[in-house]
Chains A and B, each alone.
Chain A
Amino acid sequence: MSSLLRNTFSMLIGTALFSSCYPDQPDNIEAYDLVYTNYSPTYDFKEFNTYAVPDSVVIITGDLAEGEQPSKVSALYGDQIVGRIRENMDRLGWTEVAATENPDVLVLPAAVKTLNVDAYYYGGGYWGWYYPYYGYGWYYPGYYPTYTSYTTGSLILTMIAPNDLSPTENQPVLWVGVLNGLLEGSNASIISRMTANIDQAFKQSEYLKQ
């Protein structure tokens, strides 16, 4: 009994000290939202004009077996995500073409729901099912995406130049956007936050403008 009391007392003191040391914490879900972007300074985005975007969003779950297809985000969210990417790319002056029409860049949306993922680990393997000619790795020319550990509740937007292979036949990642936050709240609330954050990712990346 006395040890229970002692533990309870210790917990109370610990809680009091913690709340005193960190007096104010986020009090709503939106306050946890983060939007991170980074880009390659070695490329001039005005040299690219056309883009393609897949019509669904893959979910990164770890290693994929040979020939295994990744899971996809439900259309309820996926359609909103892809649509918002299109709106923003169009607003910045890009022209959408089919993936088979040799686009200058691909914008690839992927979601991380339940694990931590490293950007390098993620790579391009997830898209082989979608773009049959795909099979290369990625690299980040001239910059290092410091935000490489994508945790639970992230949407990763990756822009690659599929035709601009490096000597080692890797494809350059020209731009990366990461939206991170809590996957909580109603569907409408999640969609609203997600679309606002996609807008923010492009808003803070005006260098993408054509």
Chain B
Amino acid sequence: MIRKTIFISLLAASALLAKAQENIYMFEYSMGFPTGDLRDYIDEPSFRGFNFGYRYMLDENRALGLDIGWQTFYEKKDYATYTDGTSSITGIQYRYTNAFTASLQIDQVFNEGSDIRPFIGLGAGTSYMRRTLDMGLYRLERDPWQFMLQPEAGVSLYTTNGNLVMLTFNYYWGFATKQLDAQSFLAVGLAYAFGD
């Protein structure tokens, strides 16, 4: 009984502590799922991604912050012939896209006072999309900076020590440039965050 009371007290205290946090720092592992032109190029999910996020709580329900991240997409294409006009080339292709993203985010957080708090947000920033094609001894590369929008949604779970475990869904929507069509992907992330 005493143990249960202590546990509930700690939980309540952590919720209060969480509410008092103004700065939140987030470290996230993410999985990427390519869409659009990126999917045409690489039709495989990525399990190599990492993000860092910072949020400043404007009040109990709104946050401003910054996200930076990196996601690597990769696909090996079997030995095949690619024809363009009169030219044909045959070989094995190794395709890569390294997406480096940075955005300013604004979030709306729901369920004030609860330990489980869903949120939605929108960000704008840039993505550096490094697209690499290795074929034989040759490497072709394009690496545009694209303007990027980043809508996000997720849910935060406050732990007993006042830190957070978060499940996030981000859509990285880079806009087309002369060098490369619009590059986009959906990322599902699992994050650990703490505040002060």
> Which residues of A are interface residues toward B (Cβ below 8 A)?
20-26, 31-41, 143, 145-147, 151-153, 180-182, 200, 204-205
30 inter-chain pairs at a CB distance below 8 angstroms, sorted by A residue, are A21-B72, A21-B130, A22-B74, A22-B94, A22-B96, A22-B132, A24-B76, A25-B134, A26-B92, A31-B92, A33-B136, A34-B91, A34-B136, A35-B89, A35-B91, A36-B87, A36-B88, A36-B89, A37-B87, A37-B89, A38-B86, A38-B88, A41-B86, A143-B86, A147-B87, A147-B89, A151-B137, A180-B137, A200-B90, A204-B90
Q: Which residue of A lies closest to B47 (CB)?
A: A23
Interface positions of B from 26 to 63, Cβ below 8 Å from A: 48
The reply to whether B90 and A21 form a contact with Cβ atoms under 8 Å apart is: no
Q: What mask results when residues 94 to 134 of chain B are scored 1 for a CB within 8 Å of chain A, else 0?
A: 10101000000000000000000000000000000010101
Which residues from B are CB-within-8-Å of A34?
A: 89-91, 135-138
Which residues from B are CB-within-8-Å of A39?
A: 86
Complex Cα gap A181–B136 (Å): 7
Which residues from B are CB-within-8-Å of A31?
A: 92
Complex Cα gap A151–B89 (Å): 16
Which residues from A are CB-within-8-Å of B137?
A: 32, 34, 151-153, 180-182
**A204 and B88 in contact (CB under 8 A), knowing A23-B72, A23-B74, A34-B135?**
yes
B179 an interface residue at 8 Å Cβ cutoff? Answer: no
B5 an interface residue at 8 Å Cβ cutoff? Answer: no
Interface positions of B from 128 to 152, Cβ below 8 Å from A: 130, 132, 134-138
Which residues from A are CB-within-8-Å of B130?
A: 21
The reply to whether B88 and A21 form a contact with Cβ atoms under 8 Å apart is: no
Chain B binding surface SS class: strand
Q: How many residues of B contact A (CB 8 A)?
A: 24
The reply to whether B86 and A20 form a contact with Cβ atoms under 8 Å apart is: no
Contact of B88 among A20, A26, A181, A205 (CB under 8 A): A205
Q: Which residue of A lies closest to B88 (CB)?
A: A204
Complex Cα gap A151–B48 (Å): 33
A210 shortest CB reach to chain B, Å: 19
Which residues from B are CB-within-8-Å of A25?
A: 94, 134
The reply to whether B136 and A32 form a contact with Cβ atoms under 8 Å apart is: yes
Which residues from A are CB-within-8-Å of B74?
A: 22-24
**A33 and B91 in contact (CB under 8 A), knowing A20-B48, A21-B96, A182-B137?**
yes
Which residues from B are CB-within-8-Å of A41?
A: 86
**A37 and B132 in contact (CB under 8 A), knowing A20-B72, A21-B72?**
no
The reply to whether A180 and B72 form a contact with Cβ atoms under 8 Å apart is: no
**A24 and B94 in contact (CB under 8 A), knowing A34-B135, A34-B137, A182-B137?**
yes
B5 shortest CB reach to chain A, Å: 48
